[in-house]
Amino acid sequence: MDLDANRTLIVAALARIPAGDRAALQTVYRLTSAKLFGVCLRILGERSEAEDVLQEVYVTVWRKAADFDAERASPLTWLIAIARNRSIDRLRASKHSRHMAPIEAADDVADSGTMADVALENAQDYARLHGCLDGLEAKERSALRGAFFDGNTYEDLATRMNVPLGTMKSWIRRAMMKLKSCLQQ
C-alpha cells in the first residue's frame, strides 16, 4: 500500500476515534505501531520501556484524537510528536542515567568539520587570491570584482564606469590573465 493511501486511512481512522470506534484505533495501531515503536526505542534505548511508552501513546491517541487537524500536520507527524514527547517524558522521569561510553570512544566519532590542514590551506588560498587582487590596477580590480563577485554583466559595468563595452571586456580579460599569472607563482 502506498504512502498516500496509508495517510488517507490514518486520517479517516483518527476522525472516527473520538466517537469511540475501537476498530479505528486498531487501524491506526496497525499502520503506525512499528514506526512509533522505533521512535520510542531510539529515544529510550530499552525495549521494555519503549513498549510501555508505546502503550501510553495509543492511550493518548484514544483520548486526544479529536485534537488532530489534518490541515495542520500529517497524521504520522502528529503521532511521532506524541511518541517522542512521551518518550522524553519517560526518560526525564526515570532516575536511570543512560549508558555513557568512556571518553576514549570519542575517537571513533567522525568530525564533520573541516580538518585543520584543509582549513589552513583554504585560508592561505584566500589570502593569496586577495593579495593578487590587490595587485591589480584599481579599474581592473573593480571590473573583475563587479563581474565575478557581484554578478554584474559587462554591459552594466561599462555603463556604470562610463567606458565602452570593448574596453570593459579588455580590462576584465587583462585582469584575469594577471590574476592567473599571480596565482600560479
What's the pLDDT at 4? Answer: 72
Side-chain-side CA neighbours of residue 13 (13 Å) = 23
Please report, rounded to a whole number, the percentage of residues in the chain having pLDDT higher than 90: 43
Per residue in 63-86, pLDDT (tens digit) is 999 999 888 888 988 999 999 999
State pTM to two decimals.
0.51
What's the pLDDT at 127? Answer: 83
**Alpha helices per DSSP H over the chain:** 3-16, 22-44, 47-64, 75-93, 116-134, 138-148, 154-161, 165-184
| Cα–Cα distance for residue pair 182/185, rounded to 1 Å | 6
Domain ranges of the chain: 3-93, 116-184
Assigned fold of 116-184: Arc Repressor Mutant, subunit A (1.10.10)
Assigned fold of 3-93: Rna Polymerase Sigma Factor; Chain: A (1.10.1740)
Per residue in 85-143, pLDDT (tens digit) is 999 899 888 755 555 556 566 566 565 566 666 677 777 877 888 888 888 888 988 88
What's the pLDDT at 110? Answer: 60
Burial class (CB in 10 A: 0-12, 13-18, 19+), 147: buried
What's the pLDDT at 143? Answer: 87
Q: How many C-beta atoms lie closer than 10 Å to residue 176's C-beta?
A: 15
Return the ∠ at Cα 92 (arms to 100 and 85), rounded to 5°. Answer: 110
What's the pLDDT at 104? Answer: 61
